[in-house]
Amino acid sequence: MITGGQNLRVLREKLGLTMRDIETASDRIARQKKNEEYLIPISRLSDFETKGVIPSIYRLYSLAVIYRRDFRELLCWYGVDLNVPIADLDVSSPPRSHLSQALVNTQTVQMPVRLDPGFDARKTMNFGRMVEQWGTVPLMYLEQFSKVNYTYGYVGSEDLTMYPILPPGSFIQVDEARNKVLEGGWRSEYERPIYFVETREGYTCCWCAVGREETILQSHPLSPVAPRVVRNSQTEIVGQVVGVAMRLGEWRSVADSALVPKEREALN
């Protein structure tokens, strides 16, 4: 397996650059940035190329500029892939709901590129078995979806406002174009619009009722979180929740610890 240092050496030699050239160019970058951390002395470059020493983020930036390569590519040579896998997000469960920026810079996405001809959207089925082939698709090919004003949020592990229909730990898709609160017209709680709301205390998902001066942030009846009344000037309706990705079961222990005995009995 070729190491990051070996890649750096091969690239430098392909470009016809000497170690002295790298030192001189990096010195110019350091002067422009007014930071000596960008400078790469010859001895240090030799350590990178032959001894497995890992460059600092500043020196790696200098190398990316001098070699005319994407900074991401050089990071990948050292095992750091900025295309964050979804599975890596499971290592942490922030307690508060928030806007998710983890995947903003992702360049590619894994998606089904061929489905089983027997796939029937009308029936509930194991979707994984219906995918004949997965592929890595550059996000530029999904550019047509950028016309839709979606943002993405995460329901904090301690945010039980819409429990149990929107469990803690859920990832949500928010349509920013739907930021006006609707009143009535739904037949059940599942049809009632859920909004992603920002207040001075942070973000939350909830039902809403807007008055002249105040907004009621309505939690689910089975939630241990009480409804809140906030001034309209202190509230921003980011948009309506139109999609959700959730895991079932793992959040139950968190929710149970917050429920009072009567509410637990109602669920059982």
pLDDT at 251: 56
* Domain boundaries 150-267, CATH class: mainly beta
Q: How would you write the chain as a 3-class SS string?
A: CCCHHHHHHHHHHHCCCCHHHHHHHHHHHHHHHCCHHHCCCHHHHHHHHHCCCCCCHHHHHHHHHHCCCCHHHHHHHCCCCCCCCHHHHHHCCCCCEEECCCCCCCCEEEEEEEECCCCCCCCCCCHHHHEEEEEEEEHHHHHHHHHCCEEEEECCCCCCCCCCCCCCCCEEEEECCCCCCCCCCCCCCCCCCCEEEEECCEEEEEEEEECCCEEEEECCCCCCCCCEEEEHHHEEEEEEEEEEECCCCCCHHHHHHHCCHHHHHHHC
pLDDT at 53 over 70: yes
pLDDT at 79 over 80: yes
More confident residue, 142 or 118: 118
pTM of the model: 0.55
pLDDT at 94: 77
Dihedral, CA of residue 222, residue 228, residue 232 and residue 236, to nearest 10? -50
User: Average pLDDT in the 177-198 region?
Assistant: 91
pLDDT at 185: 84
pLDDT at 267 over 70: no
The pLDDT-based confidence of 80 (bands split at 50, 70, 90) is confident
pLDDT at 266: 47
User: Average pLDDT in the 220-247 region?
Assistant: 91
Fold category of 4-77 in CATH: 434 Repressor (Amino-terminal Domain) (1.10.260)
The pLDDT-based confidence of 14 (bands split at 50, 70, 90) is very high
Q: Where does the chain hold its CATH 1.10.260.40 domain(s)?
A: 4-77
Q: Where does the chain hold its CATH 2.10.109.10 domain(s)?
A: 150-267
**Nearest-angstrom CA–CA distance, 56 and 37:** 8
pLDDT at 127 over 60: no
What's the chain's average pLDDT? Answer: 80
User: Average pLDDT in the 28-38 region?
Assistant: 96
